[in-house]
Structure 1
Amino acid sequence: MDFSIFKYEKSRLSFATIRKWLLSYVSILLIPIVFSLYVYAEAEQIIRKEINAANALKLSQIQTIIDKRMTDVISLSLQLAWNPTLESILYRGYPLDASGRFAVNKLQRDLKLYRVANGYIDDIYIYLHNSRMIVTSATSYDIQLLETELEGIEKLSARQLIDLSGRSFQYYFNTMTVYAGTANERQTVSCALTLPVSKVDAPSATMVVMLDHATFLDEVMQRQGFDQGALMIIDESDHILCSTRQDNLFTSLTYMSVDNQMVSTMDLEETPYVVSSIQSAVNAWKYVYALPANVFLEKVEYLKRLVISSILVCLLIGVAVSFLFTRRNYKPLRSLVSSLPVRGRHEHATLDEYALIRETIESAVSEKNKVRQMLDAQAATIRSSLVARIVKGKPIANTNLADVSGDGQMTWLSDRFCVLLFYIENTSPLLANPNGEQKNDADLIRFIITNVAEELLNEHHLVLFSDVDDLLTGLVNIGTDQSYSARDLAEIAAQVQTFLSTSFQLSLTIAVSSIHTTLAGSAQCYAEAREALEYRLVLGPEQLLLYEDLDRPATTYAYSIEDEQKLLNAIKAGDLALTRQIAEDVFARHFRQQPISVEIARCLVFDLTGTLLKALNSVGPLEEEGKLFLESLNPANRLAASGTLADLQTEFLALAEAVCQFAGQNASNKGQKIAQRVIEVVQKRYADENLSSTGIADIFGLSGPYVAKMFKDQTGQSLPDYISKVRVEHAKSLLAASTDNLETIALKAGFSNKNSLIRVFKKLTGVTPGQFRDMSL
């Protein structure tokens, strides 16, 4: 780092700047004192919000865990409900025959398999109403046996199953009293389901999935962060499913007394608690967390002590080190700025280092986003690029379609290929805005065409689209049917054309090539389709052009030197009628009597246009006005944009008319325009001491003698004399209005020195510049 620069900046800032910095630091240190009272007042609310947010997060975690388990139970219940063995015995009556008993035995094994595979399941009970059979993962028996011999031994009683069988429900979660041994009862969570699922109103069986209480809820109980408070889960029947407290803390709480996602203060066992709750997303359970209110006060007092001590320490230490920081704070900032790229620095301006750092970071982020967008765009255009290279006949390193298909599954159907070219004649009226103006939404039009074509073509073939030479190009891989021809493909193209015309008012011309084998033959397909599309100029718009059906017209034209000379003379004479007659004779001979190909027609029209340019140049050199006229005429683009041969003929006749009019006007006022433009240049550039006839002529692209002669013919004076007069007039203005010396005035007026000014000034005015200034005073 260059410390001399730092010293210079420091000395330039002086002690006033240091005092300002020091005052700024001290002011910052005083802010905590100013807001200390506010901090004290708001401390309790801040802590309350933080603890509530933490409690809500903890409850949300608990909700996620339990809801996930319940969702798993529902999924398992559905799997069991659609078990083929279970469905086969749902409607069997009592008693079961041998096949029914065999099915029950098989169902029992299935239930055991489900219970073993899902550790959180305690047991599964299925009560078959019609056969009065109960099937568990361990055994099966009659409901009457459960009512007598097995009462108090099995986990569920007959009365519980009979009560459930009289109700219709889906995924009913509830707490149930089960037997853990003889006369030992405990509470557990179960999920009941009426079978079959599709006939809830007419149940034939009831399934009860009993959950292992320890496995299902112990993970919740073991969650950290609940040691300061108490957590419980309560259902809509006010049953407490589980609780982290073994005492009677939650006995006074009911399901309706805790609002979902609300925080309230309640007295539990004569102790104030802050109670938070959240409801399950699967059923109506609520998860409740109670935190003693004194926890809030303890943290608030701690925060107050911390704030006061921090303020005192900051004041004591801050005052001592503020001056040191003021002197040293610029060093790391300067080092950081020096490490930045040179681009964007303003060395000769007042530096704002933070703005420079921000600008550099924003520039880096912007560049990164641009690179990312480019990579995303590349991924979307790989397939289009592949199609473009194939039809252009360019070498391709990898022609495996699966590598560029996106899903990795697309492959070529056969080795037969064809190309379709879509030429859009007009945009759809559906794209017009409320004012009736067309919107240029090429992407939307392309989307419509490609989707319709893919829908019809991909039924038996594979079509890939790309924009090639500003034309929507479809590479069609013919299906496996070897009898399929290009004419069959043209029929599908006709359906696309008709559908787009009737449904979207899109007018298209579609060119269809012949079918070629191998992927390399696609380049020939594209060339054929382009050749077919050229015949749109002959046949008109909205055509379906099949390459195999094209006629081959004449490939030469007859435009003799004699015809060209006649046309030249007519244009130079400004005879529009004769010009039109000669041109129409040439068009009739080639377009109607003996039709020519599209390429030859273009050559003929451009040859005729060349005659127009020759005529325009023969009137006189193409000066600036002539060049502007030629640019506004824009013959090449106008002819290239012609859609048909009739359009070519119309555009050429319009060009011929414009050239005839220009040639007639140019002959009469050319000299006057040159003189006027010379005057404008002299008035603008008189201060240039190198201004001369040759220099002015170079501006127009003409010769010096030609410009000088035209100027004298129009004004009656030579161009050098006019330049001298203009300079003397400006010298007069400077002599009368300023106190500059003669040397300065001479240079401002365009003279090389004061002697040249004196000589020319006296020659034109009869007095010297000094005498003129004296007379002007």
Structure 2
Amino acid sequence: MRFLVPYVTFLILLSVCLAVSYDRTQQIVKEEIKKTNLLALEQAKRTMEIRMSELNNTMWEMLSLASVMRAQYINEPFDGGNSIRFLKASQDLKGMSIQNEFILDYFLLFKRSQLAVNRDKIYTFQELNGLYFRVNGYDYKQWHSLLIESFYQEQYLPAMAITLSDYVHSAIPFVHTLGRKEDSLGSLVILIDNNKVTELLSGLRLSEDSIAYIVNRQGQTISCVTGNHFECSPSASERKLDTTGLILSSTNSSVLGWTFVAVLPKEIVAKQSSDITHSIFQMLLGSLIVGIAAAVWFAYRSSYPLARLVKSLTENGDAQLAARGSTYSWIEETVSRLFERQADIERLHKAQLPLIQNAFSERLLKGGFSSEAEIRTSMAHAGIAMESLSYLVLAVHFPGYGDEANPRILAEIETKKMIVKEALAACWGDKIRIHDAEIYHLAIIYRCSPEEINNKRAIEQRAVQLIAGIYRRSEESVPVLITAGSCCSELLQLPQSYREAIQAFRHQEWEEYCSFIWYDECKMSRTLMFYPQGMESQLFNFTLIGDEERCEGLLRYLYEENVRKRKLSLAMKQQFLNELNGTYIKILAEQNREPAEGEGCIQLATIKEAETYFERLIGKYKELCHLINLDKRSHHSELRDKLIAFIEEHAFDADLSVTKVASVFDISAAYFSQFFKEQTGKNFSFYLEEIRMGRATELLVNRKLSIHEVAVLSGYNSSNTFIRAFKRRFDMTPSEYRQIQTNACM
């Protein structure tokens, strides 16, 4: 009889499949197609979010160039030295490092001067439209109205045919208007290669009559592709919006405000499911007659242990599936789903964790965070632990290569970086975090021990000995220069330490192998003003969040560095103060506030006036921070009440999440999480779980409800998730809680 068991098991499983209708088979195939397409859409969405975030950073980097800001206000481009200023803007654009493969080209269109500037040339508007950059089907007047006269705020236009240097491209224009709506100064136009976008969409399982497309919040089709992997016009996707009889997969990007959609005809499901159903029916009819007697005997023999197994699993699974009679299929599906979900989570986590950690280090060193709390939240998300009383940034440089960067040199540098990374990891372990910042240097975030805080020579000695050991073990020479910034007590100050380490390398001559330079000990040039772009971004962020203390601290640090340490000339001091004043005016424009009279260019007659003007600037920045805080308090109170009301109303919806709440209120998920924690003192997940557990304890008293029904009524799709959450909060399972309550009532 033991030889009969495998066959009878197979027979029962096939008999269960016989009970599954043709529609059920179609639905399985349909869900599989939708799942596959949804995963592909999610991958395309993540790629587009990363690339468009890089594009947004590139835009702000262009607009923050001093030469570009000055060029916006020039009316007569050929008077005096104005032509040189436009040439300087073009050279600055050429000097930028843009590695986004999605970007075809970009142009700065200055309305007042009627000139267009990119990294290669300078054109008048008519020359640009006639010789280099045309929108197919648009004459010059329409071209001018589309790109210059219209007002845009970081807006993506639908894909269109564009001619660049007599070559036709399919491009998605990204347009941002310079200045305000009522006083436009021109626009920045970045052309995105639509072929790269359609390549992402082509990864879907599209049949001949299928279509995939991207639409924005206004319902405009940004890009689309057909099942033949040919680009289609926007009107083609609009005709597909009637999804009756079609399979629709879609996902929304809260970052871009886009919806990624794939639409397939229902006939593809019928074709695939009919083959499966036909094969199943043939096998079942042949095996049913032969094995019916053995099946009845086996069913009787195994009914008792099977009933116990089903009872145990329905406590933690989907009781509805078990009730349909598809018990074996349900068990197999439940276990398979758990394994698949675990494998997917582990694979995604393993694949994305290095990227998340690298992005965190890059953002931290470049000053992309505005508060210590934001840094801690991002660290927890990236799985990074860097607790210490003090930090500093070491920069490991590989000098001697000049400006050339061919494949041979890049490969050589990468080899040397690997040698140094291995040595650093072996020596310092988790005391450091290594970040591959740029081609010719590594950035090291170093956690100082209590002994090293007051003895920086110990760090220097250990670093020099480490690199010396590399020379002894390596077959080839690995010349290295190490520079170090100042120690800091907060992670938010690390960008300053990093800039100091880089600045020490640029201003100090390298004398020998294994040399180590501290920023505060190197001989700095006293003729140049110190106001890097990262510092301006930090000043911008501190002011916009109303942080008066950090805003004033950063201003005084810049004043100390420029006026007292560098001992700038009167003209350079005047330029430095005008740069700070220009940042203040830009923040006013960002806040839609009008500058007061007399906010123009600062003129210094004597050196003593510099300090007077500087104190006035600090007063203006602090006053602006105060006004911003007043606006925020009023807005925060109203938003907090609306959020809590919405969450309590929809707490028992299974799909309620951070992303959904943030989307309803048109804010980012990260901002919502941070804001909710600040206003309520609780994480969103903890607050939601608290509400759901309150209802669950009330429902468990009713013994007529199964554990699965209690889970669904409490807002959980899965009984497993509900049980884990219940045990985490009450240190017992729902069944144990119900038993205790029953005994108490008796």
Q: Same fold by TM-score, threshold 0.5 exceeded?
A: no
Scaled to the shorter chain, the TM-score interval is: 0.3 to 0.5
Larger Cα-atom Rg: 1
Q: Which has the higher contact order (CA 8 A, sep 6+)?
A: 2
TM-score (norm 2): 0.35
TM-score (norm 1): 0.34
